[in-house]
Amino acid sequence: MSKCEQLQYDFIVVGSGIAGLWTAVHLADGGKVALLTKDDLQQGSTAYAQGGIAVALSDEDDPELHLRDTLEAGAGLCDVPAAEILAFEGPEAVRELIEHGAQFDMENGEYAFGREAAHSQRRIIHAQGDATGAEIERALAAAARERNNIDIFEKTQAAHILTVDGHCVGIQAHDFAAGKPVFFVAKATALATGGLGCLYRVTTNPPVVTGDGIALAYRAGATLKDIEFVQFHPTALAAPGFPKFLMSEALRGDGAQLLNHDGEPFMQRHHKMGNLAPRDEVARAVMQEMKAAHQPFVYLDLQPIGKRRLEKRFPTIVAECRGRGFAVPDQPVPVSPAAHYFMGGVDTDIDCMSSMPGLFAVGECGCISVHGANRLASNSLLEALVFGRRCAVAMANAEALSAATIAEIARREPQAVPVGSGFYHDLRDIMWDNMGAVRSGATLRNALQHVAHLSARVSESEEPTPDEMEAANALLLAGLMAKAALSRRESRGAHYRVEHQGVSEQMRQHTLVRIGDNGEPEIDYRPVELQRHR
């Protein structure tokens, strides 16, 4: 393979959701930014976010209460300093987002706060009823395009992390528009590639969410953390379609009720908070009711919200349901769980710095341990805002690359890219059947066996396709996730083991996964940070 084009920047951001865009916008005043996205700029999970942003902005709320709710939902696995930063820096970050043009719904001159599961207060701000993510994506994409210091590279997929002496110095990417590899070189690189929901057959995530940045970081030698923790949203519309259409948790915050096949409310039997219980509890309760009735769904009754309130507050959901033939709110809609959010990711500190110098990870791609074992509803968009800004500050302080380092990269030839083909759908079935909301040692070992069989067919290519790159990344992560889940012998938050029910104080630690000297994964543990900084 011959040498390829080398592009020099101050900063590289991989991914164009809220985390990537917000980080890039904050970097633009400090140097030239290359923003890479494997699809179009506005393709990603952000636009699918319905519920809103959880933030303590109302007079009745307080960051201390938000912190308490976050820690309780996280089931003992949140790092307290990170959760503190989220709750206390959140209001300022949201105000800054508003200054960048994001418009949120108002009532009587005040923000219209909604409530979602496991929140003690009404603190969810939203846009256009249930189109919060789309509004944020619109505002930030416009802000990124307006800045001369940000160069946007669409259809450009990260293939390898470039390193010199253990330091990240950029990205080898594949430009699919031009059909060639490109070296992007910079003093600091941020991965903002999102989660891995599309490793599962049933998911609310768009097709691009395949864990690419997390796989790249692992191959380069960075540490991953808590990758066994996947949140399953309890109420995806049980109707044909991919990704599954999400029935926002905010519906239950406004009074909607889950019903079994006999038309009876059931959540109060499963949890003291009823329909507003934490997501992992609701998802497992729904699955129990489905199993008891031998049915593939339960029902969500929207009548308690009222027709006028429903149409005003949730116009996107109403239009989707009616377009599919459901006469809401008069008719309950069928719902079932779906893979939704990844609590693990690249291990980072509170400034989004990974274990590899020069490499950062922000948003769902990174794991700051703010969500613990179970994310509190609507904390994800806030995390991207709060820590995207901190990430940009830390990246701006990185040391410039030496002339010798730049020259060394210029002498290199691009590496071939891991690829897989023809078995992505098999993998998604394996993960759904064996690594879902309810797990056991037997299902996890079964997942490992099947993933190992499929992984034996992964090869390398100098001319990869996007699907082939995604398949190889997905297979790598699936095997690592199953190993991490098998090693955690307890049930905590979203990780539920039928033979190890209940939490273990000994396992109140973060799972760390890194590549060993022999090329095989090594698993270690690190205690949760419990000391408050404020």
Find all residues with CB under 8 Å of 48, minimum gap 6, and list them: 133, 204, 205, 206, 243, 246
Find all residues with CB under 8 Å of 263, minimum gap 6, and list them: 299
Write the DSSP symbol of residue 304. G
Which residue of the set 115, 123, 138, 279 is catalytic?
A: 279
Between CA 345 and CA 218 the distance in angstroms is 10
Between CA 383 and CA 206 the distance in angstroms is 20
Strands (E) located in 343-402? 345-347, 359-361, 366-367
54-84: buried (b, 16+ CB within 10 Å) or exposed (e) per residue? bbbbeeebebebbbebbbbbbbbbbbbbbbb
Burial of 426 (0-12, 13-18, 19+ CB in 10 A): middle
DSSP 388-443: HHHHHHHHHTSPPPPHHHHHHHHHPPPPPEEE--S-HHHHHHHHHHHSSSSB-HHH
Do residues 431 and 418 make contact, with C-beta atoms less than 8 angstroms apart?
no
DSSP 317-340: HHHHHHHTT--TTTS-EEEEEEEE
CA distances to 323, 454, 469, 472 from 422, rounded to whole Å, are 33, 10, 12, 11
Neighbours of 485 (CB within 10 A): 24
Write the DSSP symbol of residue 359. E
Pair of tokens at residue 388: 């995207």
279 has catalytic annotation? yes
Q: What share of the chain is helix, strand, coil (3-state, %, to 5)?
A: 35, 20, 40
3-state secondary structure 134-174: HHHHHHHHHHHHHCCCEEEECCEEEEEEEEECCEEEEEEEE
Strand partners, 53: 125
Do residues 102 and 132 make contact, with C-beta atoms less than 8 angstroms apart?
no
Pair of tokens at residue 73: 């939902």
Pair of tokens at residue 276: 């507003």
Q: For the chain, count helices (H), then strands (E).
A: 15, 24
Question: Which residues are designated catalytic?
Answer: 279
